[in-house]
Amino acid sequence: MKITQINIKDYNQFQNLTLDLTYPKGHEKEDQALEKICFIGQSGTGKTSLLNVLRAMLTTPFLQTALSEKYQNSNMNHIVITSYFKEVKSVTEIREGKISFRDLKTDVNPTKFMEDFYLGKNILICFPAEIINNINQILAEKSPHPSSILKTVTEMKQQKRAKPRSVFDFETDNVLEIWNEILQDINAYKIEELKYSQQITKALGINAQNADRAFENYKRWKQKNPNPIEQLAQQLNPILNKFSLAVKTSFDFESIEDLKFIQIQSKGGTEIPYSGWSTGTKQVILTMTPLFKLNTDESIILVDEPERSLYPDIQTEIINNYKSAAPRAQFFFATHSPIIASAFEPWEIVELKFNDQGTVYQEKYYKGERHVDNYFIDPRYLRWDVILMRVFDLGIEGNEKFRNRALTKAARLETVLSKLRAENKMDTEEAQKIWADYLKLATKLAWRLDGYEED
pLDDT value at position 450? 57
Instruction: Of 31, 285, 254, 27, give the one whose Cα is nearest residue 170.
Output: 285
Q: Model confidence over 67-95: pLDDT tens digits?
A: 555 555 456 778 888 888 877 888 888 88
For 31, the 3-state DSSP assignment is coil
Alpha-carbon radius of gyration of the chain: 28
pLDDT value at position 59? 76
How far is 66 from 95, CA to CA, in rounded Å? Answer: 10
Q: Model confidence over 381-407: pLDDT tens digits?
A: 888 888 888 888 877 666 667 777 888
pLDDT value at position 148? 46
Instruction: Of 86, 102, 139, 122, give the one whose Cα is nearest residue 273.
Output: 139
How far is 251 from 191, CA to CA, in rounded Å? Answer: 10
How far is 207 from 343, CA to CA, in rounded Å? Answer: 61
Give helix 279-293 / helix 131-142 axis angle, nearest 10°. 100
pLDDT value at position 260? 55
Neighbours of 250 (CB within 10 A): 11
- Backbone phi and psi for residue 258, each to the nearest 5 degrees, phi listed first: -90, 5
pTM confidence score: 0.80
How far is 132 from 144, CA to CA, in rounded Å? Answer: 14
Does residue 347 register a pLDDT over 70? yes
Q: Give, in order, the Cα–Cα distances in Å from 174 to each of 52, 136, 149, 167, 184.
A: 18, 12, 10, 12, 16
Q: Model confidence over 153-199: pLDDT tens digits?
A: 444 454 444 466 788 888 877 666 777 778 888 878 888 888 888 88
Q: Model confidence over 242-291: pLDDT tens digits?
A: 999 999 987 665 544 444 567 899 988 898 887 788 889 988 988 999 99
Cβ contact 245:283 at 8 Å: no
How far is 53 from 316, CA to CA, in rounded Å? Answer: 28
- Backbone phi and psi for residue 341, each to the nearest 5 degrees, phi listed first: -60, -30
pLDDT value at position 361? 95
Q: Looking at residue 425, what DSSP letter applies? A: -
pLDDT value at position 150? 44
- pLDDT grade for 145, boundaries at 50, 70 and 90: very low
160: amino acid identity, one letter = K
Task: Spell out the residues 6+ positions from residue 4 whose beta carbon is closer than 8 angstroms to its own.
Answer: 20, 21, 22, 33, 82, 83, 84
Read off the pLDDT of each residue in 200-221 and give the average, rounded to a whole number.
88
Sign of the four-CA dihedral 285, 286, 287, 292 = positive
Longest dimension (CA), the chain: 99
Does residue 333 register a pLDDT over 50? yes
pLDDT value at position 63? 38
Q: Give, in order, the Cα–Cα distances in Å from 97 to each of 94, 103, 115.
A: 7, 20, 23
